[in-house]
Structures are given as C-alpha cells and as structure tokens.
Amino acid sequence: MQAPIFVANWKMHHGPRAAREFVAQFVKLYPDRIERTVILCPSAVSIEAVASSLRYRPEIGTGAQNIWTEPKGAFTGECSAAMARDAGAAYTLVGHSERRHLFSETDEQTALKCTRAFEAGLLPILCVGETLAQRESGTTEAVVIRQLRAGLAALTPDQVRQVPIAYEPVWAIGTGKTATPGDAAAVHAVIRLALVELAGKEAARSAILYGGSVNEGNAASLLAAPGVSGLLVGGASLDPAVWARICQA
Ligand code: PGA
C-alpha cells in the first residue's frame, strides 16, 4: 500500500511570517522518517516562505492552492504554474470547490490547469465533489465523474495515474458536517473505477483523498475507510499541533 497523503489547505490564512512560524512549530512536533506524505498548501504569497523553511525537511512538500490556465501574460492577480514552481511548490490543488463555486471555475479550466501543472513540473491534486442539492437529487456519482473526466481529459494515461484525486463533498467543507467513512468509501470506489477506465488497471492504485470537515476526532476513522488514501484538510490544518496529530492519525 502507498504511504497515506495528508494535504493542508490553508486557504486565505497564514501570510509569510505566520507560515514560517507554523513550519518552525510543526517540524518540532512531526517526526521525520515516518511513512507518510505531508504537503502544505499556503496562499501564493507564502509558498516561498514555506518551501524555504522546509529545506531541512525535504520529505514535507509544498503546494499551491491554485494556478492560472495560461503560462504567462496579462492576467492581473494570477499566479502561473511555473511561478509557483519557482517559489518552491511541487504540487498544486486544482478545481477546489471554492474555486468552482466562488470564482466560477469551469471543468475546462480545471483541465487546462492540470496540463499547465505538468508542463511546469507540478503535480496537480484534482478536487471533485457534489453540492448538497446534487447529493439530495441523487446525482453525486454523475457530478463527481463528470468533474473527474473533464479535469483529466487532456492528460496522458501515465499522467492520469500520477494525479491524486481529492473527493470533497461541498456540503462537508467548513460546515462541521463530515461524510461518514461509508459515504466516503462509496464515492471513492466509483472514482477508482472511473480512473481504471480512463488509465488502465494500474490506476486502481491511484491516491484518492477525502476532504471536508476532517478534524482530530474523525481523521483516523476516515483514513481507515476502504479506498481512502489520504486526507485534504482546511480549518484543522491551521494549528501546527493539531495538524501534527492529524498527520499521525
Ligand atoms: P475544511 O476544508 O477541512 O475546513 O472543511 C477542506 C477543504 O476545503 O479543502
């Protein structure tokens, strides 16, 4: 089995100074040589601070929360994949539900962002997930599979097999409502099947993370659910002590 993956999504928290302080505390609390992959995704302005503070802990990765669809140009306020890479990121989230719902990010844009990420040497982490209305109307699988296929559409099968997928039900993000381990396992199984259809049977080993109101109390049981290979954590990743405990769940 692959080492479980723990991704912290700090959203719009922790500027460079707070990010450095976080890393200084976290590395004291989180032992190295542990069989886990930990990735911190700060705001773009803090990528360099996080990556440089982690230079003595190269096993802990840094990721962007978002990149733009074009490699460069007149896109005021945006950050390209190559710029994130240059600042020290090795990963980027793509298609987070806040990007999709608050910033109208489309499926086509998620596909372009995945392509740009690979071009720049970043590994995209593609986020998918249904809203409460979609879940209640019975379209969870259709929505998740549409987002998955669209986001991965321009990648080669070999690239598809490398992309960690994060299943984050929108109704569980920042709400305190967590999917049960059973809910997560059911959707993860559907995603895994779709990945195998897209990229062959080796894609059965792809990493599929769960995200949405993960905390210290539920991390271990979600991680133990069948097919859950890691966790994507927002609010509970902001405190270094809490995050260090979640990463050892
Ligand atoms: P949350 O956020 O853990 O605060 O629910 C998760 C996410 O948005 O990635």
For residue range 3-44, list pLDDT tens digits in order: 999 999 999 999 999 999 999 999 999 998 778 999 999 999
Q: pLDDT digit string (tens) for 173-182?
A: 999 888 999 9
Cα of 72 vs centre of ligand 1, distance in Å, is: 29
Q: Ligand 1 atom 6: the closest Cα is on which residue?
A: 234
Percentage above 90 pLDDT, the chain = 96
As a whole number, the mean pLDDT across the chain is: 97
Catalytic, out of 14, 96, 105, 130: 96
Is the shortest distance between the CB of 120 and ligand 1 below 6 Å?
A: no
**What is the four-CA torsion angle of 83, 85, 87, 93, rounded to 10 degrees?**
90
* pLDDT score, position 74: 98
pLDDT value at position 22? 98
Classified as helix, coil or strand, 113 is helix
Model confidence at 1, pLDDT cuts 50, 70, 90, reads low
- Residue 169 CB less than 6 A away from ligand 1: no
Residue among 48, 105, 130, 168 flagged as catalytic: 168
Q: What domain range is 107 assigned to?
A: 5-246
What was the pLDDT predicted at 2? 80
- Other C-beta atoms closer than 10 Å to the C-beta of 231 total 27
- Domain CATH code at residue 100: 3.20.20.70
Q: Could you tell me if the CB of 247 is within 6 A of ligand 1?
A: no
197 an active-site residue?
A: no
pLDDT at 52: 98
pLDDT value at 217 more than 70: yes
User: Does ligand 1 lie within 6 Å of residue 235's CB atom?
Assistant: yes
Residue 93 has a pLDDT of 98
Beta carbon of 168 within 6 Å of any ligand 1 atom: yes
The total number of structural domains in the chain stands at 1
Give the three-state DSSP class for 5: strand
Alpha helices in 126-218 (DSSP H): 132-136, 140-152, 157-162, 181-199
Q: How far apart are CA 219 and CA 199, in angstroms?
A: 29
Q: What is the atom index within ligand 1 of the atom nearest the CA of 97?
A: 8
Backbone angles phi, psi at 62, to 5 degrees: -120, 140
- Span 124-173, pLDDT tens digits: 999 999 999 999 999 999 999 999 999 999 999 999 999 999 999 999 99
The predicted pLDDT at position 15 comes to 98
Instruction: State pTM to two decimals.
Output: 0.97
Catalytic residue flag (residue 168):
yes
Give the residue-averaged pLDDT of 82-104: 98
8 A C-beta contact, residue 128 and residue 166:
yes
Nearest protein CA to atom 1 of ligand 1, as residue? 234
Report the Cα–Cα distance between both ends of the chain, in Å, rounded: 16
Name all contacts of 139-146 with Cβ < 8 Å and 24+ positions apart.
140/169, 140/187, 141/187, 141/190, 144/187, 144/190, 144/191, 145/190, 145/191, 145/194, 146/107
The more confident residue out of 48 and 32 is 48
